[in-house]
Amino acid sequence: MIRRITISGFKSLQSVELELGELNLFIGANASGKSNFFDALRVLQGIGYGFTIGEILDGKPKSANSDVWDPIRGGSARAAFANGESAHEIRFEVSLELNASDARTASYSIAFDPAEGALVDEWLIVDGTRVYSSVDIENPKGRPYFEVRCAPGKASRPPHDKFERSRPVLGQFARSKHCLESHRPGVQACLRALSNTQRIDPSPAILRDYSTAQSVKRMGERGENFAALVKTICADSASRDAYTSWLRQLWPSEAIEDVGVLHGALGEPLFAIKERGKDQPAPVLSDGTLRFAAIAAAFFQPDRPDILTIEELESGIHASRVRVLVELLRSQARAGQVQVMATTHSPIVLAWLNESEYATTFYCDRDSSTAASNIRPLNRVPDFLRVLEKQPIGELFAEGWLEGALCASVS
């Protein structure tokens, strides 16, 4: 889980520092920086996968060891914050909770030049102990390797190690013979914490189709093999009952008896619900129904991600059922099952938030003079809590009060 993140020089995120929680919502107008923040999470995911900087930004074709990796929007040419000036380096720093059960933590920082696809600086601290660092080491441009100072080990162990400059050290260090056995579990846990992110953007057209697999532990980000995942979920009675109960809340007045799959001529699964004794296959269900079913299924995947990202989470879902969606995200995040990052344009979503969730509901806007994105929690918007006593949050958002309050605070 990411507890704190600092982003400098990436796209419109000139300088952003956020304290994150289990459930994190991002609101604001189009082009305010929400999607750029989600792109930043994808950069961290690519680091966790061990890709080169060029591959992370510009994409990577399918190989024997990895699936296709789509480029970050704009690629390396548009990755750095420029503001009319020459592009500078990009820096990420994250504080990670590696394992809630034993309170293991880590801090990781990386800086790189997107144009050259080369490292500038990188360090890792696990449980308060420095594992490696390039701080105070000369790494001039043009040198084919990148050097870091390793944590002390045996007296005969060299204090420095050289790594490929085009690839983050983190993944290379995990495989290095210079990584102490006492550090290896922490390094590998950091890689997992960064890489185990799943983006969910289900397409109704894909959700209505038969799955190509019979059973999977995780579906694709567009809903590929959704029916196969539901088949896997339903194989476990506890998961099946919990998943079905959420879908029943979406249709409280309907007689939903069960959730499961039908099968095609070759046995391929197709999502379906049973309503009043009749099977309702995916092709006859509404877009909103299928989207909710897919988002709910993501929380019951046997191979659950550490971080789940959802953009425009209320898309296609009737306003009267948005509360159920908010409750789903809240309950699963609080249970420690997964950290949720989601964007929304819906005042109704905001209306169902608790006051404690304002600290991790972030308002995004752009500075008119620099074009840099500002991202701040609602509880730090000037006068927000005072005004909220007189007017519902959904109305404040819909009427543009937040923009006015932030403009006034700047002036």
DSSP string, 29-82: STTSSHHHHHHHHHHHHHHHHT--HHHHHH-B---SS---BPPPTTTGGG-B--
The single-letter DSSP state of residue 367 is: -
Is there a domain that residue 189 lies in?
yes
Q: Which residues of the chain have pLDDT under 70?
A: 65, 83-87, 100-102, 153-158, 252-254, 399, 401-411
Last-in-domain residue among 260, 277, 304: 304
Is there a domain that residue 276 lies in?
yes
Is there a domain that residue 372 lies in?
no
Q: What is the pLDDT of residue 100?
A: 61
Q: Which of 112, 98, 9, 3 is nearest to 51 (CA)?
A: 112
Q: Which two tokens stand for residue 355?
A: 């006051």
d(Cα 174, Cα 184) in Å, to the nearest integer? Answer: 6
| Domains of the chain: total | 2
Q: What is the pLDDT of residue 407?
A: 53
- Same domain? 129 vs 6: yes
Q: Which of 403, 394, 402 is nearest to 319 (CA)?
A: 394
- Same domain? 98 vs 212: no
What percent of the chain is modeled with pLDDT above 90? 61
In terms of residue numbers, what domain contains 207?
Answer: 198-304
- Same domain? 169 vs 286: no
The phi, psi pair for 255, rounded to 5°, reads: -95, 70
pLDDT tens string 52-104: 999 999 999 877 767 789 999 999 999 999 765 555 799 999 999 987 666 78
Last-in-domain residue among 288, 304, 320: 304
Global pTM reads: 0.91
Is there a domain that residue 89 lies in?
yes
- Same domain? 44 vs 16: yes
Average pLDDT, the chain: 88
Last-in-domain residue among 152, 181, 196: 196
The single-letter DSSP state of residue 210 is: P
- Same domain? 205 vs 189: no
- Same domain? 247 vs 277: yes
Is there a domain that residue 361 lies in?
no
- Same domain? 171 vs 208: no
- Same domain? 185 vs 115: yes
Is there a domain that residue 377 lies in?
no
- Same domain? 7 vs 142: yes
Is there a domain that residue 215 lies in?
yes
pLDDT tens string 330-359: 998 888 779 999 998 888 888 888 889 999
- Same domain? 23 vs 59: yes
Is there a domain that residue 53 lies in?
yes
- Same domain? 133 vs 223: no
Angstrom CA distances, 196 to 43, 168, 170, 189, stand at 12, 17, 15, 10
- Same domain? 25 vs 77: yes
